Chains A and B, each alone.
Chain A
Amino acid sequence: MAYKRLFIWLEGTDDEMLFTKIFRPIFLLEYDWVEVRLYASLKKGYVDRFITSIDAMDADYILVTDINSSPCISSKKEKISERFEYVNKEKISVVIKEIESWYIAGLNQAESQRLKLPWIEQTNELTKEEFNKLIPTHFNSRIDFMLEILNCYSIDVAIQKNQSISYFVKKFIRSTAK
């Protein structure tokens, strides 16, 4: 069987922590090699050359982006295509709204309570600013708080609480599972 590689392109280190700890181990059940890369500080020509190389070696890739202020998923994908010419729109996953909403989505009620967070049933509208306000005062590091969430993260809970995670899991994980 051919050696299967997956490149996951992410915007920044907040995305990287989540994908490295939660999604990478799942993808490793299907792929022999999974690499997480950050694209926010890369030039567009570089990402395009990288995508060309990935295609040439017959590897897979996913590019994850926050929807931010874009009115809809299609327009966000359009924006990404304008920046990175060679990215296949089918390989783009759009986070609604920002990656911080995916963090909170993975907490069940008991863990939310343990971390002294209010229970949030749906995180589809949760922004970075709202997430920052949720950080309990006994955490003096935002990064530590995010890592602590990941220590008790549940994908099953997350897909119930955020539609874009549900879509991501359905499209990129369940459809490729052995």
Chain B
Amino acid sequence: MAIKKIRVSNFKSFKNMEVELSNFNVLIGSNASGKSNFVQIFRFIRNIINHGLDNAISMDAGSVEYLRNLKIGREENLELHISSDEKFGWFGSRTKKKGTIGIRTLEVLYDFAIAFNRNDNGFYIAHDELIHKCEFVMFEEQQKDFQENEAIGTGKIIYSRANGKFQIEIITEPQDIPLSRDDLFPSFFLDEKLEPKISLLQTPFFLIPPMRDIFKNIAIYDFDPKLPKKATSITGKAELEEDGNNLAIVLKNILDDKEKKRTLFNLVQNLLPFIKNLDVENYSDKSLLFNLQEKYSEKHFLPASLISDGTVNITALIVALYFEMKQMTVIEEPERNLHPYLIAKLIEMMKDASKHKQIIVTTHNPEVVKHAGLENILFVSRDKDGFSTISKPGDQEEVKTFLKNEIGIEELFVQNLLGI
């Protein structure tokens, strides 16, 4: 799983919040409860990696004042803790003397804290630590190929900062596993200066695949179905944009691939059986526009501008769920413009897609809540002091009592009884 657990302190509307995620997560709560602030955590992480800490703060909050909780202010650190149990392997030592030692990372923990200056709006990184929990395995070279032998121990590789430099500590059990920091990274790399506002998130220590794929490419979507209805320049991004405005470009790439096209048609027709064909038209001004053929009028294609908002939204959702190669996908209110009857099928698709990627959706829709599965629901609410909290209704005895008496989870949500 991409992200197993997340904990934040003094971030936006959260004072202290910790939540365990599953592969499919449905975030519900009343208006201004903190759902978007939860999504903002993932955007913040992604922005630090892609644009640096200063830019991430500017992009996500304008200034640190609005990134931290307004009530708590500068007195407490802004903290972020992430753990991932995505397993991956890499080689440590490869010397004749020591042999080849493989490192199998079983869990990654990242802790990050920002402290705020007392007298101005400045800040500094107060804590920055990345821990790989590992298993060490001996490999044997056989005809230019490596054969895995027995596991020789377990341990941790801890990356942190000290005096403006990287620091790596290796703790092994047993202690005599011959692995040193020079085996992991070249010495010139370790001597590099770590600038005060450069987080480990931005360094190659964190960005070892597949960690890079998880965090650098967190996809966050908030589709505006009006935008894909307009022609888009042929030179746009090949990845689906957050608002879906470049859907025509992405569709063109999918339709050019026979197998992807087959899958797209199956999935679209499952939700919208009246669709006979989808196509993307190339115009002389180097723009693209997608259009659609209904089975009711086989000779004519409808241009995107005449296609319903729901049809555009469903197409964008299917592309995001099945064709964008992201390990983590967040979708804000995916049910927009959809008939309630289609929602059960849409949720099944999300569960299906979540076997290959971690999915988080936010919603206000009772039908989504009804079909999501109790174990997948995360309820966001404000406590008596106004701080956002996240709980799992499935763990609450009171909720179980209502469910036993055939009062559905969606009814409890509509009646605002989930926080009972």
Contacts and interface: CB of A to CB of B under 8 A. Distances in A.
B345 A16 contact: yes
B408 A43 contact: yes
B406 A43 contact: yes
B322 A140 contact: yes
A17 B353 contact: no
A138 B262 CA distance: 13
Contact of B263 (A12, A43, A141): A141
A17 B370 CA distance: 20
A151 B269 CA distance: 11
Contact of A142 (B262, B273, B355, B408): B355
Nearest to A17: B270
A117 interface: no
B352 A141 contact: yes
B352 A142 contact: yes
Contacts, number: 43
B370 A148 contact: no
B270 A143 contact: yes
Given A13-B345, A13-B348, A143 B267 contact: yes
Contact of B266 (A16, A38, A45, A151): A151
A148 B356 CA distance: 19
Interface in A129-174: 138, 140-144, 147-148, 151
Contacts of B352: 141-143
Interface string B250-268: 0000000001001100110
Nearest to B406: A43
Contacts of A142: 352, 355
A41 interface: yes
A142 B350 CA distance: 11
A141 B267 contact: yes
Interface residues of B, number: 21
A38 B344 CA distance: 9
Interface in B367-419: 370-371, 406, 408
B349 interface: yes
Nearest to B407: A43
Most buried by A among B269, B348, B349, B408: B348
B237 to A, nearest CB: 23
Interface in B236-283: 259, 262-263, 266-267, 269-270, 273
Interface in A8-29: 12-13, 16-17, 20
Interface string B341-360: 00011001100110110000
Nearest to B408: A43
A41 B344 contact: yes
Nearest to B265: A147
A89 interface: no
B265 to A, nearest CB: 9
Contacts of A38: 344
A49 to B, nearest CB: 13
Nearest to B356: A140
Contacts of B344: 13, 38, 41
Nearest to B345: A13
A148 B261 CA distance: 13
Given A13-B344, A143-B352, 15 more contacts: A12-B348, A13-B348, A38-B344, A41-B344, A43-B406, A43-B408, A140-B322, A141-B267, A141-B322, A141-B353, A142-B355, A143-B266, A143-B267, A143-B270, A144-B266
Among all A-B residue pairs, the 7 with the closest Cβ atoms: A147-B266, A13-B348, A143-B352, A144-B263, A43-B406, A144-B266, A142-B352
